[in-house]
Amino acid sequence: MTHSLRIPDLTIPARPSPVGPGDASDPAVSDVDVIRVRGDARLDGTVHVVGAKNSALKLMAAALLAPGRSLITNVPRITDIAIMGEVLRRLGCGVRFGPDDPVDPMVAHGGVERSRSVLIDVPERPGAEADYDLVRRLRASICVLGPLLARRGYVRVAHPGGDAIGSRGLDMHIAGLARMGAEISGEHGFVIAEAPDGLHGADIVLDFPSVGATENLVMAAVLARGATTIDNAAREPEIVDICTMLNRMGARIEGAGTSTLHIVGVPGLRPVRHATVGDRIVAGTWAFAAAMTRGDVTVTGLDPAYLEVALDKLVAAGGLVETRGDAFRVRMDDRPKAVDVVTLPYPGFATDLLPMAIGLAAVSEGGSLITENIFDGRFMFANEMMRLGAEIRTDGHHALVCGRERLSGAPVRATDIRAGAGLIIAGLCADGLTEVSHVHHVDRGYPDFVADLRALGVEVERGTAPEEPDLAI
């Protein structure tokens, strides 16, 4: 029997600009989007954080596990969400975006929505192939692998794309599904998984606490026959969020937030309404921005416990951090002191905050050693930060950063979501004007970055500039 929620039809409201974050595809133009910021800025005020991109995308995929209409609220209005919506449409789902619950405090800045809801109507028999042209634009779309294999017994998904921040293979996804009875093969850039007799429970030990592998395996296991145990599972708040939604759908999952997950398979799930957890990476970005600009910023919409390690680093740098309920405040009165940072799986320091950690080190008093343990290409943006005058030396997984009193404004290029945000924030600590190009990357992770900056007192504008050709030597 299909369960449905009685929800009014939702429409996608028009954006105020002709091209902006949240559009699945933008007109082909020779110019690139840029954000220009005036340096010598001090952030002051309050900023609200909406739902986490890294959770909302996976919640949308989890909806595939139950025929009927699921509603996910507090979804950030960003490009990646629109792409995932199109992935689901091509799998036969009805997908409608609309305004968030009016009782929620996810209000807009300047009349522009920053969060919205997505209503997903899943058919009894969804499609089984995720197209290459969309999957290559969004690595998170690989998370349809687990739920479609559980529902259909067959799935063909293109190898994913995503940010250029290093190798992120699918070995653990594939090995775990194979232990659950799937036959995995590959051809012409596609991963093909088959389980004609259905999946069965298994004991799985991950080589590394991979978030993506944990999510795919959990979503496959909830409909498998028997019990599944996943050891060395990822512990991120986004994992807890998806397990919470699945349990509300009728799944039987224990251990969310720990390194061991126990899942007992059930015959079927039902659609639900679920609110996305707040985005700890966006919240962390504003925390570091406050410290770098010697500002005073209050961030709402997130449990501060999700950022405990990062906030402790800001205290060590000389900042004042106050936490309460779903909010925290960061104030930095003097020049930050240098602190060392090592990225680790949650609850360690998040790799997505590494660009902000390097930005803080670049303007701190003393030298900082920054160590990246998750992605081998995370330091790709360091050359762009050095164009702003940052003193950085990289060696493998390490970067030595010698702080300077001020940076120097310059044109730079965003290479990924977090690097783009980090460069914009660093520009606030520079003399003169900083222009960051290719900010479509930033749009993929920050719903309304310019409006938030402006509300915090920054002189900022968004525009376009001619694309500079790559010159080969």
State whether residue 253 is helix, strand or coil: strand
CA–CA gap between residue 247 and residue 65 (Å, rounded): 12
Nearest to 413 by CA among 390, 441, 392: 441
What strand order describes the sheet that includes 341-342?
341-342, 367-371, 398-402, 391-395
C-beta neighbour count of 456 within 10 angstroms: 23
**Annotated binding residue 374:** yes
**Annotated binding residue 12:** no
Q: Are 216 and 58 in contact (CB under 8 A)?
A: no
Angle separating helix axes 237-248 and 53-62, nearest 10 degrees: 30
Q: Are 81 and 118 in contact (CB under 8 A)?
A: yes
Nearest to 402 by CA among 394, 410, 411, 412: 394
**Annotated binding residue 216:** no
Angle separating helix axes 145-152 and 211-221, nearest 10 degrees: 20
Backbone angles phi, psi at 428, to 5 degrees: -70, -20
Residues with Cβ within 8 Å of residue 201, at least 6 apart in sequence: 180, 221, 224, 225, 226, 227, 228, 263, 264, 265
- The residues assigned a catalytic role are 163
Mark the binding-site residues for UDP-N-acetyl-alpha-D-glucosamine, compressed into ranges.
Answer: 139, 352, 374
Mark the binding-site residues, compressed into ranges.
Answer: 53-54, 139, 352, 374
Mark the binding-site residues for phosphoenolpyruvate, compressed into ranges.
Answer: 53-54
